[in-house]
Structure 1
């Protein structure tokens, strides 16, 4: 028996893992200038898209694990990028909202997507769109 099915080079999941790690490393230098990590950047993008949302909504938008999100939000509050406040309509809910500093960071981050896109020298925009559609299918199939 050859066990080819167990070779790393035959694993789609391992390729996705390596690609994910490579992308996070590519972002690291750009985000260092903003003093945020990639998961913090994901949270910021969600809040720049829609500010003052519940933690549950933020978890849904970002697909970040709840335990990890707690730590991420704490660090971002410490950096004065956002604040967590009680919802006036439902005191049980807490809302995450950007501070002025967090809103201002958007202007500093505006070129990051283009800068990352330039690193994909071997992929044209049509292929990038196709890759996003394929990854959406993977995510949809594996979502629990």
Structure 2
């Protein structure tokens, strides 16, 4: 799942000399619709690329912890002011309209992430420090071992 999302963002990253670094736990298997979860992770990676300076890196990681799968996307971008962190998940919300014209987008990416994750019984949260970057973490229920086969679980 993460490999598909990374591959879909590779050209955009290369055009800005941004290195995508992915590390996944092979035992991290989430229960859910793989294409929707790929879309959610894709949106997080695309945002990280858009808001990162050229020549930086974006990290993508997945692990299983306490009966859940955590997928984190970390950038070295501009960061998000504390007062705006919860609003970034609202539909059509743009942090900086002047910057939005430069980076493009509709302001729906993070709203879609939140919707997909909630529909899978999970949550999404953000940590950010202005001028240093952000980390978006998706937390999903781990697939039961009996269901953790490629046709039923979404492999990270």
TM-score normalised to structure 1 length: 0.30
Greater helix content: 1
Larger Rg: 1
Greater strand content: 2
